[in-house]
Amino acid sequence: MKPSDDFEDFVNLVSTLRKECPWDRKQTHHTIKDNLIEEAYEVVDAIDRENFDDLKKELGDLLLHVLFHSRMAEEKAEFSISDVLYTISEKLIRRHPHVFKDVTVESDQDVANNWESIKLKEGKTSTLDGIPSRLPALIRAQRMQEKAGNVGFDWPDWKLAWKKLNEEIDEWRLAIDLQDQKNREDEFGDLLFSLVNVGRLLSLDAESALRHANQKFEARFRYIERNLKKKNSNIQSATLEEMDQLWDEAKSKGY
């Protein structure tokens, strides 16, 4: 078997691995489900870095998981990759009547409204159905807010949401002052949720923003560690003043 750009060849390659590789043969949907999540995040990381060579490779890894799960399902006569392709094609056609039928839309918001309306007609019991419980909390908060907003449950603008954010800050501070640990956590959660709301109304993505903030922190902290090592020092013995100075230096250099 040789590398190929043909989809059917790749399907056959995955089937061969499943039959002939002891490790691949041993796997189940559950044993590799977390690997699927990891591969999805590696795709996101490549996009953030705008490294398209890595993106090409990571998308291949993600596609492997789609085919591998489909192959395992086919072995038990549950569904096949053909069923997966048909199902997503049918859904996309059904949920885009403005493209494939005679429905008229004026904006992307109209498209979002139609999407939610069609989902409810399909038997969904809530607009929030379909948001996985295992999503990272920031992503899930933003997706719930977006979906609620698509059906009109939203702040008219970010300034009113900002007012609510200030209320949540005051409530969190009160919980801290009262030394109520349970309420501290509840109010902190409400504060984060409100912060996501303000950012969303300003067209910001909370998960992406925090991910970038994490990347900046990591780059600057590693800069501190490297430069302390050059001075025959380390993070354990350095003073806070020394670390702050190196932090500012890293920041000035664009880290």
Per-residue confidence band for 37, with pLDDT thresholds at 50, 70 and 90: very high
Per-residue confidence band for 109, with pLDDT thresholds at 50, 70 and 90: confident
Q: How far is CA 212 from the centre of its chain?
A: 13
Query: Whose CA is closest to 94, among 125, 127, 119, 123?
Result: 119
Please determine, for residue 120, whether its predicted confidence score (pLDDT) is greater than 90.
no
Helix-helix angle 181-201:158-177, to 10 degrees: 170
Please state the rounded mean pLDDT for residues 11-23: 96
Mean pLDDT of the chain: 93
pLDDT at 27: 96
Q: Dig out the tokens for 133 from the structure.
A: 């419980």
d(Cα 45, Cα 117) in Å, to the nearest integer? 33
Please determine, for residue 196, whether its predicted confidence score (pLDDT) is greater than 90.
yes
CA dihedral sign, ordered 97, 103, 109, 113? negative
Residue environment code for 179-197, b if the CB has 16+ CB neighbours within 10 A, otherwise e: eeeeebeebeebbbbbbbb
SS (H, E, C) 210-230: HHHHHHHHHHHHHHHHHHHHH
Please determine, for residue 195, whether its predicted confidence score (pLDDT) is greater than 90.
yes
Please state the rounded mean pLDDT for residues 206-227: 95
Please determine, for residue 105, whether its predicted confidence score (pLDDT) is greater than 90.
no
What pTM was estimated for this model as a whole?
Answer: 0.72
Please determine, for residue 16, whether its predicted confidence score (pLDDT) is greater than 90.
yes
